[in-house]
Structures are given as C-alpha cells and as structure tokens.
Structure 1
C-alpha cells in the first residue's frame, strides 16, 4: 500500500507503507488510517529524524571500516541508506516548519 503525505508547505510525497511506518516510528508516531505531524512539534520531529539519519550514517561508516581489508566478495552491500529514504519527508518537514504548517497523511 502507498501512503501520501500532504502539506500546504510542500508538494505531496508518496511512499510505501513499510517505509512510512518506519519513519513515523522514528518520530514517535504510529501509522494509522489518518494522522498528523503538528507544526508546533515539527522542530522536535525534525531533530529526531536528523538524529536517526546521523546514527545510520555512523553505523555505515563503522561497518565499512570493519570490512576495509576484506575482498569485495565478502563485503555486504548496504544499498540505499536512511538518509536517502528519509530525505523527502525530512525536506517536507523543514518546509512545513518554516511556514508553520502541518503534515497530514491518510486524507
């Protein structure tokens, strides 16, 4: 299932249910039929998501360092990281914060 996030501050974004559930979980929210990230809590939500992205990047660097001397065949490939997956929502959140707007889903 696809989830659409809407805000008057930014273009609509659509993501898979699993990714939306994960990102909202990082924000302390649950993916319900409908939901909102209120503008008055947007700064805290942005900080939480930025922290999760930074932590994921640190983990990736640690992982790469661990396998630095290994042959290419034995190094696991991580693929797309949290920074890339979270960017559309994080960008929307920043615009919404600047304009004191809410972000809605399931509407």
Structure 2
C-alpha cells in the first residue's frame, strides 16, 4: 500500500498498481517514498488533470471507433483515472491552500 500524507488533509491510500498509475500521472518515479513540495503542488494538480484528459480522450476515441463500425460502444471496466485521482487532487488543493507538503510512503 502507498499512503499519501499532508497536514492539510486526511491520508489517501492506494494499492501498489493504483499508486504506480497515479505517480506516473504526476510524472514521478514510482518510488517507495517521495515528496511533493508546496512549490510543486500547482504543477502536480495540472499533471493529474492532464492525465485524466488524455485518458478520457483515448476512451472517447474507442467509443467513436466502435460506433463508426456499427459495434456497441465499449464500457469502462473498474475505476476510471478521474475517480482514482480525485481524492489525491483534493489533497493537493487543500495542501496548496495551507502551504503543506505532500509525502508518500509505499
């Protein structure tokens, strides 16, 4: 398990595969521990939002392709990236407002 912590918010916990996906969206190495300093919080939020946009655009392209071929559109399986990053995005916003670093430990 990976635990993201900040003095500004409750902990956010991810299983290893989900944490890897989130850390890659943050453009961070999936290390066992790390920090997002206050100065980097706005960029981290933007990175998560950009990753969600890319994920949703890729899925929309699959739906459009299926519809163009007269096939039923695919359905999302499991948790979407938007759903997965929402708690961490909230933590990043609260941490930025309170000028608190975010750390993680795996």
Q: TM-score, normalised by structure 1?
A: 0.85
Offset at 1:55? 1.2
Offset at 1:77? 2.9
Partner of 2:75 in structure 1?
A: 77
Structure 2: 5+ residue runs without aligned partners?
none
Partner of 2:24 in structure 1?
A: 25
Partner of 2:87 in structure 1?
A: 88
Measure, in 2, the Cα distance between the counterparts of 1:13 and 1:27: 15
- Post-superposition Cα deviations, 1:30-85, rounded to whole Å, max 9, x if no partner, equal 232321111111101111110110111111111111112314xxx54322321111
Partner of 1:38 in structure 2?
A: 37
When the two chains are superposed, the root-mean-square deviation of aligned CA atoms in Å is 1.7
Measure, in 1, the Cα distance between the counterparts of 2:8 and 2:90: 10
Structure 1: 5+ residue runs without aligned partners?
none
Partner of 1:105 in structure 2?
A: 104
Q: TM-score, normalised by structure 2?
A: 0.85
